[in-house]
Structure 1
Amino acid sequence: MRGTAAMGLLRLLPAIVFCYLTFASRLISGLLGSLRGSVELPCVHHQLPGPIKEISVYWQLKNHPLKDLVVATVINGVVDRKYVDERFKGRGHLNPEGLHAGNFNLSLNNLSLHDSGIYICIVMWTPSYTDILYKTTVELKVTAEFSPPVVDIPDPGKLLYGQERNLTCRSKGGLELPKIMWIYSNDGSKVQDGRVHEDIHHDGDIINVMSTITLNITSNINISCVIVTKNGNLTSQHYKMEVKLEAASPPNVLIVSLIIGGIVGIFLIGFLVKGRCLRRPPRYEVPLNQMNDLGRG
């Protein structure tokens, strides 16, 4: 009995929807959803003419891309997933407990960009499949926004004057290529010094970006990374780097200094040894005649 009713509903739906669309355009409302997020599409009708078992509901996504897709159905007051399109199974839900109160809201989770489109909700009285009790149309647009940028700083402690540091800024999940800026956090001015390298990675329709700046640290700085999009700017946390007063000795200068110091040390040691030899007291030699007298005695 229930299967026969369902098939009758599906056979009549194209004609029902066609008649409905001739006067429903003014009822369209709009919703925004975030990629991989969730959204609830409204469809509420409290004035039901009879028990819920006499009510059927039909949710449909229009022209996606070549045909209409069944998103969710209620047949004779019971949520029915048999005719739901595969791409919505497990993602489109109607709350069974809310049906008795006329709540036929559609919940969609794990949104994809292909979920964007016009959704139609039709509430019908089952004894007469041509009797539309309520209808509404919702336009859903799924967008993808960049994640807040995060900056990686190796050894964020105090640095020696003149040391170089690489700072890396990452953000992901956008649809259009953004502009990446490095700014001083204290006044918002753009960092002009340093070398900047950017990497762009496409994950299907999604864009992930990374920017690396190389700075020669000569003073204390507060720095941030900004992702500039048409929907607004995203700014990372402020990162502070402090500089010690003593300068960092480049490795080649240190080696040369050690070599010169060694040579000077060798000459100094040689000079000291030679000076000690020159100051040695003179030897006393006994005259030969005294030596002979000592021998005879």
Structure 2
Amino acid sequence: YFFHITSLLSLSFNLVVIALEEKIIVSKLGDNATLSCLYRERELPLKDLRVYWQIADDQEVCPVVHALISGQDNESEQCIHFKNRTQLFWDRLENGNFSLLLLNVSQSDERTYKCVVLQTTEYTKVIHQAEVVLSLAASYSQPVLSGPIRNSSSTGEEMTFSCRSDNGYPKPNVYWINKTDNSHLLPSELKITSHTDGTYSVFSTLKVKATSNMQIECSVENKILRENLSANYTQQKQSSGSSPESHKNLEKSGRGAQAAAVVSIVILIGLLVVLTCWLWRRRSSTLVSYTGNE
């Protein structure tokens, strides 16, 4: 059918000039994508139409995505990659809506598609055609930025920050930003790893000299989705009370408090024992006195 389509198109272009519409749509991996093809000139009976969806690449070995001939789906020449993954909107066909639903899109579907509508009445001619560029994308996870905890006296030493984000598509842009003046910093390392599901993870490091007021941002950009996810690091200083000596003092005071608590519990138990014995003896003496009166 594809060779037949080609000859028909060649013939029709000699007879009439058809404007080619082109659209770009973005779909997320695993979602269903609608490839738009709308003919608004006039209503035509489906029995007089042929609708072909194909890959817009002359070098493609198997270009047929979907075919509708005389009101019926024709799967005889459909590429195996698209088997059971394409659907027309049957309730909209008579209104000139020849859009195609492509199910469960993956990276291999990221192509340019062509919709060709032919009328087969007196002679076969192209009455409409459209191209759709399908771009795929997946959102990256919220970046995780890690950096060291610094002493206030560490100004000037080299510090290393790391930033990671996972499961996005396509490959991202990663930016390191000094938020004190919004200047861009060059990463020390940038590693992008591909996964079996086609998505990517990114890991980047930054080495900079420490300053008294550090504010670092890592930003991961997905251009297709126009998403910019960021994580921020603000300088964290250890307080003077967190020195090794102060830790020792805290440990000593903690042990002293524990010992005092044990002594207090022992004294309390002793008092309870004495009180219990006194109450028991008092009760016994009262009973003896009562018996004597009898």
TM-score past 0.5 threshold? yes
Return the alpha-carbon distance in structure 1 between the equivalents of residues 219 and 41 of structure 2. 48
Task: Report the counterpart of residue 170 of structure 2 in structure 1.
Answer: 174
Partner amino acid for 2:118? Answer: V
User: Does 2:147 align with 1:161?
Assistant: no
| Aligned counterpart in structure 2 of residue 47 of structure 1, from 32, 42, 45 | 42
Partner amino acid for 1:174? Answer: P
**Cα distance change of structure 1 residues 82 and 47 upon mapping to structure 2, 3 Å threshold:** same
Return the alpha-carbon distance in structure 1 between the equivalents of residues 126 and 5 of structure 2. 14
Q: Secondary structure at the match of 2:10?
A: helix
User: Does 2:22 align with 1:29?
Assistant: yes
Return the alpha-carbon distance in structure 1 between the equivalents of residues 241 and 209 of structure 2. 12
Return the alpha-carbon distance in structure 1 between the equivalents of residues 12 and 36 of structure 2. 19
Return the alpha-carbon distance in structure 1 between the equivalents of residues 235 and 13 of structure 2. 62
The equivalences for 1:31-180 within 5 A come to 31-34=24-27, 36=29, 38-45=33-40, 47-50=42-45, 52-63=46-57, 65-67=59-61, 69-109=63-103, 110-112=105-107, 115-125=110-120, 130-132=123-125, 134-140=127-133, 142=135, 147=140, 150-153=143-146, 161=151, 166-170=161-165, 172-175=168-171, 178=173, 180=174
**Cα distance change of structure 1 residues 78 and 108 upon mapping to structure 2, 3 Å threshold:** same
Q: Identity over the aligned pairs, expressed in percent?
A: 17
The equivalences for 1:189-204 within 5 A come to 189-190=183-184, 196-202=188-194
Post-superposition CA distance 1:214-266 (Å, at most 9, x none)? 6797756443113478888945144445434227658xx99xx99xxxxxxxx
Partner amino acid for 2:115? Answer: I
Q: Is the 8 A contact 2:39 2:96 kept in 1?
A: yes
| TM-score of the aligned structures, taking structure 2 as reference length | 0.59
Return the alpha-carbon distance in structure 1 between the equivalents of residues 165 and 22 of structure 2. 36
**Cα distance change of structure 1 residues 247 and 40 upon mapping to structure 2, 3 Å threshold:** farther
Task: Report the counterpart of residue 16 of structure 1 in structure 2.
Answer: 8
Return the alpha-carbon distance in structure 1 between the equivalents of residues 213 and 201 of structure 2. 30
RMSD: 4.5
Question: 1:39: Cα distance to partner?
Answer: 4.3
Post-superposition CA distance 1:165-213 (Å, at most 9, x none)? 75423264235x84x3322335423468xx9443232459876421134
Return the alpha-carbon distance in structure 1 between the equivalents of residues 88 and 222 of structure 2. 35
Partner amino acid for 2:237? Answer: V
Question: 1:10: Cα distance to partner?
Answer: 7.0
Partner amino acid for 2:70? Answer: N
**Cα distance change of structure 1 residues 165 and 69 upon mapping to structure 2, 3 Å threshold:** closer
Question: 1:140: Cα distance to partner?
Answer: 1.7
User: Where has structure 1 moved over 6 Å in runs of 4 or more?
Assistant: 214-218, 228-233
| TM-score of the aligned structures, taking structure 1 as reference length | 0.58
Question: 1:103: Cα distance to partner?
Answer: 1.1
**Cα distance change of structure 1 residues 76 and 108 upon mapping to structure 2, 3 Å threshold:** same
Give the greater-gyration-radius structure (CA): 1
The equivalences for 1:245-264 within 5 A come to 245-246=239-240, 249=243
Partner amino acid for 2:175? Answer: M
The farther-off stretch of 91-100 and 222-231 is 222-231
Question: 1:98: Cα distance to partner?
Answer: 1.0
